[in-house]
Amino acid sequence: MRRLENKVAIITGSSRGIGKEVAKLFAGEGAKVIINYVGNKAEADQTVSEINTAGNTAFAIQADISKVEECTKLFDETTKQFGKVDILVNNAGINIYKLLKDVTEEDFDRLFNINVKGTFFMMKEAATKLENNGRIINFSTTIKRLMVPTYSTYTATKAAVEQLTRVFAKEIGSRGITVNSVSPGPTDTPLFRQGKTEEDIRRFESMAGLGRLGTPEDIAKVVLLLASDEASWISGENVGANGGVA
């Protein structure tokens, strides 16, 4: 039997990048997946088409998880479509590459609203609407321990997500639900390459013991493990998926 047979998964921000690879991998393992997007319906529809054409099941739902009412909408529409929710992957997130002295209040609020507020209120929905023995996987980052200039606000949001993960794991564990976070290292996505030179890319590659950038598929495999029965005794943890970045 496939590892996620008969499960229903919401993956926020899953029309492209790491989220898309998680969705494709989950679907291939038997889950019905919700492709969540904010603005790019064409990319979301393309991802749904790829999954359904492969003989699996996906459905797209537009929702801006930085807004509390849309977190509720995302859970409720998923339940209406597939009858339940077993797995929540809080993948949606953004970055703004600025030195701390240049970060505006608008920048700060935007990052925290999506990266922290969105994760927080999606977990709040999960507290009453996720099935018993479900799985929640949040996204942090390995960059938070590398002290890279221009990442101050982003790493602050991800440190907050890790702490929320640990506390919520204790709060909801009596229902058999596990809550963990994944910290990718530098991963080859359009978001990561944004504003970087080839010299910058080589420098990030050299930080990894394995000598390369990660791929979205590398990260998706770790998320799949945490979503599966094999990880039923792992909760409140942050798992580094970074190729040996120090």
Catalytic residues: 154
CB burial string 164-184: b at 16+ within 10 A, e below: bbeebbeebeeeebbbbbbbb
* DSSP element (H, E) containing 34: strand 32-37
Q: CA torsion 245→193→119→178, rounded to 10°? A: -40
CB 224 within 8 A of CB 30: no
Which residues does residue 137 pair with via DSSP β-bridges, in sequence order?
89, 180
Q: How many Cα atoms within 13 Å fall on the side-chain side of residue 159? A: 11
CA gap 167, 246 in Å, rounded: 26
Residue found by looking up tokens 């580094």 in the block: 240
* Residue 47 vs residues 22, 53, 59, 165: alpha-carbon distances, Å: 11, 10, 9, 28
Q: CA 20, 35, 15, 177 torsion: positive or negative?
A: negative
Pairing of strands 135-139, 87-90: parallel
Query: Residue 110: CB partners within 8 Å, gap ≥ 6?
Result: 94, 96
